[in-house]
Every structure is written in C-alpha cells, then in structure tokens.
Structure 1
C-alpha cells in the first residue's frame, strides 16, 4: 500500500526514517530520565524514613 513517490521516494523514505529515529531517541531519553528521577525520589524517601541522624 505504499504510494508511488516517483523520483522522491528515497527522500521521503529517509525523512520518515529520520523522524522515527528522532521520536525513538526522545522516548529513550524521557524513559531514562524518568528512571533516574524515580531512583532519586526513592532515595529521598528512604532518607526521610530513617531520619536525619542516620
């Protein structure tokens, strides 16, 4: 079901590929940051439970 793109087929296909790669990179960065923030919040919560004197 791919439309006939004629002489621009390569350019259009590459534009789609680059766009998908950028979206995938953004998702990976957001996922990694979320994991890092979740770890930091868990550490803060654990420190608060223990108290300031250890």
Structure 2
C-alpha cells in the first residue's frame, strides 16, 4: 500500500464510502430485478389465463 501521509484517513474513508455506495447500488439492483421479475411472471400467468 502506498504511503498516503497525512491524507491517509481521508483517502481511505473516501474509498470506504465509495465501496458502501457501490454495494448498496448492487443490492438495490438485485432487489428491484427480483421484484420486476415477479411482477412479470404474475402478468404472464394472468395473460395466459385470459387468452
């Protein structure tokens, strides 16, 4: 790891915040994808029943 000097805490906290935000975006995308997929399956079942 490079020597960051007096900026080490600032740089590392920025990396930490960025990592948390990226993980949150991935989790949100996965959650929304599951929700949309479930809605689509419900609609497809309804359409196949109605002809």
Provide the rounded CA distance (Å) in 2 between the counterparts of 1:12 and 1:19: 11
Q: TM-score, normalised by structure 2?
A: 0.94
1:27 pairs with 2:26: yes
Q: What RMSD over aligned residues (CA atoms) do the two structures have, in Å? A: 1.0
Select the structure of larger CA radius of gyration: 1
Aligned length: 51
Whichever structure has more helix as a proportion of its residues is 2
Structure 1: state its 5+ residue gaps: none
| CA apart distance, 1:42 | 0.2
| 1:16 aligned residue | 15
SS in 2 for 1:47: helix
